[in-house]
Structure formats: C-alpha cells, structure tokens
Amino acid sequence: MPKGTGWRISLIVIFALLSLLYLTPTLAAKLPSWWTDLSLLPKDKIHLGLDLQGGTHLVLEVDTEKAVEGSLDIIATDLEDTLNSKNLHFKRINRVGSEKVSMLFYEKDTATTVQKLMNDKYPGYKQSPQRDEGGFVALDLQITDEAAKDRKDKAVAQALETIRNRIDQFGVSEPLIQREGIDHIVVQLPGIKDPQRAIDLIGKTARLEFKLVREDIPPNSASLPDDAEIMKEKTVDPTTNAVSEIPFVLQKKALITGDLLTDAQVRIDSQYNQPYVGIEFNSLGAKLFDQVTAANVGKRFAIVLDNNVYSAPVIRERISGGSAQISGNFTEKTAADLAIVLRAGALPAPVKIIQNETVGPSLGQDSINKGLMAGLIGVVLVVVFMAIYYKLSGIVANLGMVLNVLFLTGALAALGATLTLPGIAAIVLLIGMSVDSNVIIFERIREELKLGKTPKSALDSGYDKAFLTIMDSHVTTLITAAVLFQFGTGPVKGFAVSLSLGVIINLFTSLIGTKVTFDLFLHKGNVKKMSI
C-alpha cells in the first residue's frame, strides 16, 4: 500500500460506518431490542420537517399592550375597593389607554392621602403631581417604561406556558413551542389530524368571568350607565347552522373570574344527554361564589367567556360547595376543548395568529416519494454520464458521490438536523455538484496526459492544480448557504443545512476519497494507461 493511504482509507471507512450507524434507525423498519437496550447506539430517525411529515406551523403574536391594560385595570379595581373600604371619596377612577390610571377626587386632602397610600402599594408606577380639573383634584398613576416592558415580557412567557399546557392536554406528540423575538410564539404541531381544532384551542384567550345581568335596563336602551355593558350570547341552530344572537346588559365588574378555578371536566347531562363543563372553584372562589349567590337569589348570573355569554341562568338558591356548571350548545369536542382551556388557564393577553402553515400528511408523503424518486433518477443520470464520459475514473467519481450522499445523510441524522423538501432538493443538487470537483480534476489529468506525463504524475498534478479552483467554488457556495441558514426559516433552513454540510463533505470526498482510490491503483508507477 502506498504511503499515506492508510489513514485516509481508515478515515473513510470510519465515516462510512458512523454514517451507517446513525442511519440505521431511519432505515430499519423496527430496531431490534438489543439495539434499543444499548444506550450508546443512536435511536433517532432523521427529523422530518413539517413539509414532509405533515403538520401545522403557527406563529402567534401576543397582544402585549392588552396585558399592560389588564394589569392597569386590576389596579383601578383594587384602588376602588381600597378607597371604598377606607371611606375615601372619589369621583372617578379609570384606566386611560395602556399607560395610566387616572383618578378624580372631590377634595385635596383625600388626594394627598391616596398619594401616600399608593406610594407603598405600587412600586414600578409613578405618580403625577395633583392638578386641578374643573374644580376637582386629578391624579395619575402611570406605569413606568421598565414596568410595562417587564409586564409585556412576563405576559409572553406566561402565554407560552399556558399554550404549552393546553397542547399537552390536547395530546400532540413532540410539539415545539418556543418564543421568537419580543412578542411572537412559534408553535409546531407535527402530524396533527385536526389542525383547526388545535388552532381554536391555542388561540382562545379563555378569560372566564361571572357577571350579574342587569335586568332593569333593556338591551336596546340608548344610554347605558357607566358600570354596565352589552354582551351577546351566540347560539347556532344545529340543523340550519343559522347564528342567532341574544344581547344581555351585564354589570361591567366581574364578580368571579376564571383564575379562581381548580378544575374543569366534561360531564353529560343525564336528562337531555347534553354535554356540559363542570367547574370547581378553589377555596376563595368557593367563598365568593357562595356569597354572591346568596346575595343575588332570583337574579340572572351570566357566564362570560372571552366577551361571549355562554349562558345566563337564574340563581335559584345559594350555591355553596364551590362547584358550578357551564352549559351551552356544546358538542363533546367543544366541551372537551373548553375544559382544557379552563384547566390550563387563561392567556394573560389575547393572541393573534399571524402565520399558519398546515401541510396534510398525504402531501408530505407525496413530497417524500417524489423527492426520493427525483434523487434516484438524478443519481442514475449522473452515474451513467460519468461512467460513459470518464470510464473507470468516472466510476471512481461515482463512488465518491455515493460516499458523499452517505456521509451527508449520516451527518444529518447524527446532528439531529431537520430534513425538509428543499433539503432533499439540496441533496439531489449536490449529486450533480459532487462530481463537479472530479470533473475539474479529470479534465486537468487528461490535459497532463496529453502532455505526455505518466498516469501517476498526471494524477498528482491534476489534483494539485485543481485544488484551488475547487476550494474557490466550494467557499462561495458555502457563503450563500451560511447566509441562507442564518436568515431562512423552516424549509429554507433545511435547504441551507443540507447544502452547507454537503459542500463541506464534498470537499472531503473529492479531495481525499477519490484520490486515495486512484493512489491505490496507480501507486506502483508502472501503470501505462489510465482509463479516463
């Protein structure tokens, strides 16, 4: 064996074995038990992108302004309660936009007392000086930029956790849920059967509120008092699909909210065989529920979810024990989904779906089949061409190309990279590119042979002189692949991964893999003719 071939051959063999090892889980229909028992052996198949295995890719935008507004609302309510309990009189407390709560007092003294009170109570907020507003004393409590930023940040983190909970309870295998940028959440649901249902489940804010119905005000009245609002109950006729809306006048202030729940389960009404959602309150919720129902017997109590009235039953008697039921026009699925979102909790702010890409499983499989077919035909075309054009040397180049594909797929499996359809396209393209280096080398060798050099020296100078050219073309391709990797998403990223890995591996196989084969054949120096 010629000098210096030993380590090169061993390297190729080691890489080939490693590639095969990492590809085994992908290629084998079922791994034998002794394989799965050995912890060192790889067990993961090549990850397929959503475009190949089917599934849904969502990007959600969290309306973080709403989260800030929500915390200001809480402060406004809290202030009202505190001041009422301390007998401090005020004219008005309300939230203004998403930056402040403004207050209006009758007397300067009260305002000063409230200022002191707020100092300790609300860190992260700054107070405006008192000012006169039409004979009243006005005061603002403004959220600082940092506090607002912090609140937004927490809202996104919290929304992510809630969405993760919901998806876990819904049951999707290997979901990917991650934050992207400031207020975006990316959700990937591979292989999901009913994407629309999952999307509804994820996107629902699920803010549950119990509000008293103001039956003293007709829903069509022109002017509503400050503390009342109109909300509608939507019912869908199961036979005609017609939507009808019943308006209700509700008290603005929610008496009980969904964060006091401990559990929500689907139950079936034994009388009408209609599903409903049974909910359980925690101790505080149970106490509140008991108090509210006791004080309002005979009145209607509306159950509101995301500003839609689900039902507005009449309170017949005081309900203690801390459980209640939400009924509406449920099917078993919608009831089950409502129970999930109630258990997982409400989103701190509404989310908006700004990107939704869904690929059905049939199309994914179709893409895999066609991609493999195109790859196979590409390989055959290139192999045949090289073998005819460069004879035995062409076959050596073909061997290099096969090694290239083997190493590349092995590397994809080993690195846990995701294979997408453009990724497959990159591999097919690389089949053509990988023989290019050999073409450049072979053409050089042919030239050297024409100058009358021996096969051995023609081979060496062919490889030497072609080296820089090959480097150049690989580096420029690698530059664009790297940029694509940095900026691309999903399928394009998969393309960039395959392309950049392929280019690097190709450098190895064409400069070392094929060279060592020639060295083995030609090392004796007495080979008179080269098949090229």
Using CB under 8 A, list all residues that contact other proteins: 51, 59, 61, 196, 199, 203, 352-360, 362-363, 366-367, 370-371, 373-375, 377-378, 381-382, 385-386, 388-391, 421-422, 425, 428-433, 435-436, 439-440, 443, 447, 468-469, 472-473, 475-481, 483-484, 486-489, 491-492, 495, 499
The CA-CA-CA angle for residues 490, 493, 495, to 5°, reads 115
The CA-CA-CA angle for residues 332, 338, 342, to 5°, reads 145
Nearest approach in angstroms of CB 217 to other proteins is 31
Contact (CB, 8 A) for 481 and 494: no
C-alpha span between 47 and 43 (Å, rounded) = 12
Nearest approach in angstroms of CB 248 to other proteins is 25
Closest CA to 386 of 429, 437, 435: 435
Closest CA to 437 of 527, 528, 507: 507
Closest CA to 363 of 58, 55, 29, 59: 55
Sign, Cα dihedral of 37, 40, 46, 48: positive
Pairing of strands 136-143, 125-127: antiparallel
Q: Which is nearer to other proteins, 258 or 422 (CB)?
A: 422
Q: Which is nearer to other proteins, 249 or 421 (CB)?
A: 421
Q: Which is nearer to other proteins, 59 or 414 (CB)?
A: 59
Nearest approach in angstroms of CB 329 to other proteins is 18
Nearest approach in angstroms of CB 369 to other proteins is 8
Nearest approach in angstroms of CB 326 to other proteins is 25
Nearest approach in angstroms of CB 355 to other proteins is 5
Q: Which is nearer to other proteins, 18 or 368 (CB)?
A: 368
Helix-helix angle 361-415:490-508, to 10 degrees: 40
Nearest approach in angstroms of CB 198 to other proteins is 13
Residue 21 corresponds to which tokens in the numbers above? 């090892």
Contact (CB, 8 A) for 198 and 56: yes
Nearest approach in angstroms of CB 445 to other proteins is 11
Phi and psi at 523, nearest 5°, equal: -65, -20
Contact (CB, 8 A) for 137 and 153: no
Nearest approach in angstroms of CB 388 to other proteins is 6
Side-chain-facing half-sphere of 518: CA atoms under 13 Å: 31
C-alpha span between 342 and 38 (Å, rounded) = 43
Residue 40, SS3?
A: coil
Nearest approach in angstroms of CB 488 to other proteins is 7
Q: Which is nearer to other proteins, 286 or 470 (CB)?
A: 470
Closest CA to 280 of 205, 235, 237, 339: 339
Q: Which is nearer to other proteins, 251 or 358 (CB)?
A: 358
Phi and psi at 235, nearest 5°, equal: -125, 140
Q: Which is nearer to other proteins, 53 or 265 (CB)?
A: 53
Residue 416 is which amino acid?
Answer: G
Q: Which is nearer to other proteins, 324 or 397 (CB)?
A: 397
Q: Which is nearer to other proteins, 300 or 453 (CB)?
A: 453
Q: Which is nearer to other proteins, 60 or 342 (CB)?
A: 60
Nearest approach in angstroms of CB 330 to other proteins is 20
Closest CA to 433 of 500, 531, 530: 500
Q: Which is nearer to other proteins, 51 or 209 (CB)?
A: 51
Contact (CB, 8 A) for 407 and 351: no
